């Protein structure tokens, strides 16, 4: 177990290292980072000063070391636009993103799990085809377009829901649905396949042979076990949601991290863009590590096999 | 899915040409394929089909609704946008951009991913370790956020988007292809090639590559949908195809301004085009996957 955890942590650190190298490398290979770090219209002297201040005139390895030092201490630089440290800005937006992701997750589970169960109980039947169609649509529609069409319908034509901003629970409904649909599709697919696997097992056959009513077999015996992989995926998806919500947050002017990234892009606020991307990547790598370790704690086969 | 009828030996005495076997075509998604073909043709003949110039509008004819609504004219069948540009013409030229971006981005991703997958699988050892660690890291990153980041630093242009999407979405190829190569390299014909004295490069190129092309094509078809949505997203956020070029994502972004006033046609039509193309590509990809490559069914 100890060895397994050490190896996983090692992979995680390696991933974080590669992440930082990639970002460091791309910023420098695509041009002079000083032009990204100064505000548009800066003079030659300003650019030279930036070169010196950030050590851009030093060897690449030294530059990377300085870059690494600053991100490890949580220093992503200052936002040009807001004039505050990027990290503070990030933390102030995080609650909104988490709130949106939590509600979107609730939506996606409420839709995905029941439809997955219905599909698995009647393979090839109406609910199965309906669920497949629903999932395929969810995966094929760009979430921002779902958002725009919902605004058009519910805000403009019907006038039922506010089209943008945050504040009341009503503001959450549309962005959460637009974001959740895509994930509902993947939750539905996994619930279906996981249920099918469980339904084919011996203990379900035994439960049926005992003469238990089908509803009881499905709800009590099959569902509980089929739920484990779905909830794991949901845990990972929650973090992914926080990081892919950029378009949905942009459409609904939701003040989360995605919106922060969008503002960073529009105002050419490079420290913000870099900070958000670095934090997002790090978050996903760390959550993957936690999931891997939790899995190993629950299931000994994994730590022995790896 | 294995049908015993597929593997029955051909009875001797009949000319093979007389029994052209079309069974592999069963369940072929006709409508999605037709839609994709149509979008392809529209993209090809955009210059002939489009009734107006997609990039130049008539300011006097701004925000005209589609022809069946009051105020709409037959001159602008699907209405006009905030600069008086014809929506239909922009959709037609947008098909060209979507086709070019999705085809070439998938191609770049396929070449990068397949090459790395073959190298990792065939050469093995530390090469395999390095390539797979990098692949895992890239898989762990939120691809779309990363693409946005890259697009934001290199600046908007169609070919930049092709390259960015190409180097963002290659990971799936590398993983799947590597797995296939691992089993291929144990097969007799590869061993014989080694005995015959072929160099590693020749074996990879002449013996491994042709055998994994099927999988690569299936993966590519499935990736088209992902790439189209990614392009639309980047353009929507203003880091993709730059204006005034008529990308569908850019049209949605422009349409957002007219949304609150109820100019629905600026939002609904481009979105429908994206949906049709992505849905068709996904259905076709799913069919190809089941048809040609039973091993990929788990994906």
How many C-beta atoms lie closer than 10 Å to residue A155's C-beta? 18
Question: Residue A261: its chain B contacts at CB < 8 A?
Answer: 145, 148
Contact B148 A246 (CB under 8 A): yes
**Per-residue pLDDT at B102 exceeds 80:** yes
Interface probe for A, chosen from B133, B140, B257 (most Cβ of A below 10 Å), is B140
Question: Residue B164: its chain A contacts at CB < 8 A?
Answer: none
**Per-residue pLDDT at B31 exceeds 60:** yes
**Per-residue pLDDT at B296 exceeds 60:** no
Look up residue B176 and give its two tokens.
């799947």
Q: Which residue of chain B has the CA closest to A152?
A: B259
B233 at the A interface (CB within 8 A)? yes
How many C-beta atoms lie closer than 10 Å to residue A195's C-beta? 25
Contact A285 B271 (CB under 8 A): no
Look up residue B16 and give its two tokens.
């093979």
H or E segment to which residue A103 belongs: helix A86-121
Question: Residue B278: its chain A contacts at CB < 8 A?
Answer: 140-142
Look up residue A57 and give its two tokens.
């005139």
Count H helices and E strands in chain A, helices first: 15, 0
Q: Which residue of chain B has the CA closest to A135?
A: B279
* B42 within some domain: no
A86 at the B interface (CB within 8 A)? no
Comparing CA positions, the residue from B129, B140, B118, B135 lying closest to residue B216 is B118
pLDDT at A39: 66
**Per-residue pLDDT at B222 exceeds 60:** yes
CA–CA gap between residue B106 and residue A236 (Å, rounded): 27
Q: Which residue has the higher pLDDT, B54 or B208?
A: B208
Ranges A201-215, B18-32, B164-178: which has the least confidence: B18-32
CA distances from residue A125 to A267, B28, B41 in whole angstroms, order as listed: 52, 21, 37
CA distances from residue B29 to B26, B33, B219 in whole angstroms, order as listed: 9, 6, 17
pLDDT classification of A168: cutoffs 50, 70, 90: confident
Q: What is the pLDDT of residues B165-188, one digit of tens each?
A: 998 888 888 888 888 888 888 888
Q: What is the pLDDT of residues A150-164, one digit of tens each?
A: 888 888 778 787 777
* B39 within some domain: no
Cis peptide before A220 (omega within 30 of 0): no
**Per-residue pLDDT at B110 exceeds 90:** yes
Average pLDDT over residues B69-86: 76
* B25 within some domain: no
Q: What is the pLDDT of residues A261-278, one digit of tens each?
A: 888 877 777 778 888 888
DSSP string, A32-98: -HHHHHSPTT--HHHHHHHHHHTTTTS-HHHHHHHHHHHHHTT---B-TTT-SBHHHHHHHHHHHHH
Contact A15 B140 (CB under 8 A): yes
Contact B239 A265 (CB under 8 A): yes
A15 at the B interface (CB within 8 A)? yes
CA–CA gap between residue A154 and residue A161 (Å, rounded): 6
Instruction: Give a three-class secondary structure readout of B206-257.
Output: HHHHHHHHHHHHHHHHHHHHHHHHHHHHHHHHCCCCCCCCCCHHHHHHHHHH
A164 at the B interface (CB within 8 A)? no
Global pTM? 0.81
Name the residue range of residue B131's domain.
Answer: 78-291
CA–CA gap between residue B105 and residue A20 (Å, rounded): 25
What is chain A's Cα-based Rg?
A: 24
pLDDT at B108: 94
% of chain B at pLDDT higher than 70: 88
Question: Residue A11: its chain B contacts at CB < 8 A?
Answer: 133, 136
Interface probe for A, chosen from B98, B145, B222 (most Cβ of A below 10 Å), is B145
CA–CA gap between residue A258 and residue A244 (Å, rounded): 7
* B258 within some domain: yes
Question: Residue A8: its chain B contacts at CB < 8 A?
Answer: none
CATH of the domain at B211: 1.10.3720.10
**Per-residue pLDDT at B12 exceeds 70:** no
CA–CA gap between residue A87 and residue B204 (Å, rounded): 48
Q: Are B80 and B62 in contact (CB under 8 A)?
A: yes
* B29 within some domain: no
**Per-residue pLDDT at B2 exceeds 70:** no
SS3 B80: strand
* B45 within some domain: no
CA distances from residue B227 to B72, B133, B144 in whole angstroms, order as listed: 34, 24, 10
Q: Which residue has the higher pLDDT, B239 or B70?
A: B239
pLDDT at A30: 65
Contact B259 A273 (CB under 8 A): no
Interface probe for A, chosen from B29, B133, B134, B137 (most Cβ of A below 10 Å), is B137
Burial (Cβ within 10 Å: 0-12, 13-18, ≥19) of residue A204 = middle
**Per-residue pLDDT at B13 exceeds 60:** no
Listed in sequence order, the residues at least 6 apart from A223 whose beta carbon sits closer than 8 Å to its beta carbon are A117, A195
**Per-residue pLDDT at A196 exceeds 80:** yes
Q: Are B236 and B253 in contact (CB under 8 A)?
A: yes
A65 at the B interface (CB within 8 A)? no
Contact A145 B144 (CB under 8 A): no
% of chain A at pLDDT higher than 70: 92
What angle do the packed helices A257-266 and A86-121 form, to 10 degrees? 130
Q: Are A105 and A238 in contact (CB under 8 A)?
A: yes
What integer best gives the mean pLDDT of chain A? 80
Instruction: Give a three-class secondary structure readout of A218-273.
Output: HHHHHHHHHHHHHHHHHHHHHHHHHHHCHHHHHHCCCCCHHHHHHHHHHCCCHHHH
Separation in Å, CA of B15 to nearest CA in chain A: 39
Q: What is the pLDDT of residues B225-277, one digit of tens each?
A: 889 988 888 888 888 888 788 888 888 888 887 777 778 888 888 888 998 99
Domain count across chain B: 1
pLDDT at A302: 63
* B8 within some domain: no
* B40 within some domain: no
CA–CA gap between residue B101 and residue B115 (Å, rounded): 21
Q: Which residue of chain B has the CA closest to A154?
A: B260
For chain B, the first-to-last Cα distance in angstroms comes to 16
pLDDT classification of B295: cutoffs 50, 70, 90: low
Please give the interface size between A and B, counted as residue pairs whose CB atoms are below 8 Å apart.
130
pLDDT at B4: 47
């Amino acid at each position: 177990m100890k060895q397994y955890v050490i190896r996983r942590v090692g992979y995680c650190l390696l991933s974080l290292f590669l992440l930082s190298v990639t970002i460091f490398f791309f910023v420098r290979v695509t041009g002079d980072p000083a032009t990204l770090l100064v505000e548009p219209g800066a003079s030659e002297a300003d650019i030279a000063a930036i070169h010196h201040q950030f050590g851009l005139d030093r060897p690449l390895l030294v530059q990377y070391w300085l870059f690494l030092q600053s991100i490890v201490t949580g220093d992503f630089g200052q936002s040009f636009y807001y004039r505050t440290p990027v990290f503070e800005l990030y933390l102030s937006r995080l609650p909104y993103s988490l709130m949106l992701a939590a509600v979107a997750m609730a939506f996606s589970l409420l839709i995905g799990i029941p439809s997955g169960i219905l599909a698995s109980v009647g393979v090839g039947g109406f609910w199965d085809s309906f669920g497949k169609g629903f999932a395929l649509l969810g995966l094929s529609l760009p979430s921002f377009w779902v958002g725009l069409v919902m605004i058009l319908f519910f805000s403009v034509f019907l006038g039922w829901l506010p089209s943008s901003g945050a504040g009341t629970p009503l503001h959450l409904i549309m962005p959460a649905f637009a974001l959740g649909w895509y994930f509902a599709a993947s939750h539905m697919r996994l619930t279906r396949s996981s249920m099918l696997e469980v339904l084919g097992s011996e203990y379900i056959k035994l439960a049926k042979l005992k003469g238990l009513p089908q509803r009881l077999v499905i709800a009590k015996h099959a569902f509980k076990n089929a739920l484990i992989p779905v909830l794991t995926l949901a845990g990972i998806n929650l973090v992914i949601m926080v990081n892919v919500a950029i378009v949905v947050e942009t459409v609904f002017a939701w003040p989360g991290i995605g919106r922060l990234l969008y503002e960073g892009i529009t105002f050419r606020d490079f420290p913000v863009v870099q900070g958000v991307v670095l934090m997002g990547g790090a978050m996903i790598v760390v959550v993957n590590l936690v999931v891997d370790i939790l899995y190993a704690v629950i299931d000994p086969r994994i730590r022995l096999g790896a | 899915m294995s049908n015993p009828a597929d593997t029955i030996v051909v009875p001797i005495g009949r000319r093979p040409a007389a029994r052209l076997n079309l069974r592999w075509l069963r369940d072929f998604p006709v409508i999605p394929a037709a839609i994709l073909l149509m979008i392809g043709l529209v993209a090809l003949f955009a210059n002939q089909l489009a009734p107006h110039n997609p990039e130049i509008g008539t300011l006097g004819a701004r925000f005209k609704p589609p022809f069946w609504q009051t105020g709409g004219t037959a001159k602008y069948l699907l209405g006009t946008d905030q600069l008086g540009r014809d929506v239909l013409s922009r959709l037609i030229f947008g098909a060209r951009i979507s086709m070019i971006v999705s085809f070439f981005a998938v191609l770049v991703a396929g070449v990068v991913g397949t090459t790395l997958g073959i190298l990792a699988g065939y050469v093995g050892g530390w090469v395999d370790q390095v390539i797979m660690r990098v692949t895992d890291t890239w898989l762990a990153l939120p691809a779309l956020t990363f693409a946005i980041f890259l697009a934001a630093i290199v600046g908007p242009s169609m070919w930049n988007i092709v390259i960015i999407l190409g180097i963002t979405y290659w990971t799936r190829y590398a993983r799947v292809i590597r797995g296939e190569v691992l089993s291929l390299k144990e097969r007799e014909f590869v061993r014989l090639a080694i005995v015959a004295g072929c160099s590693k490069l020749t074996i990879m190129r002449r013996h491994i590559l042709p055998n994994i092309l099927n999988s690569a094509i299936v993966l590519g078809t499935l990736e088209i949908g992902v790439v189209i949505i990614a392009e639309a997203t980047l353009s929507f956020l203003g880091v993709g195809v730059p204006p005034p070029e008529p990308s569908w994502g850019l049209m949605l972004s422009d349409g957002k301004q007219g949304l609150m006033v109820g100019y629905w046609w600026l939002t609904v039509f481009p979105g429908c085009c994206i949906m049709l193309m992505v849905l068709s590509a996904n259905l076709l990809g799913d069919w190809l996957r089941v048809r040609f490559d039973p091993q990929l069914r788990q994906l």
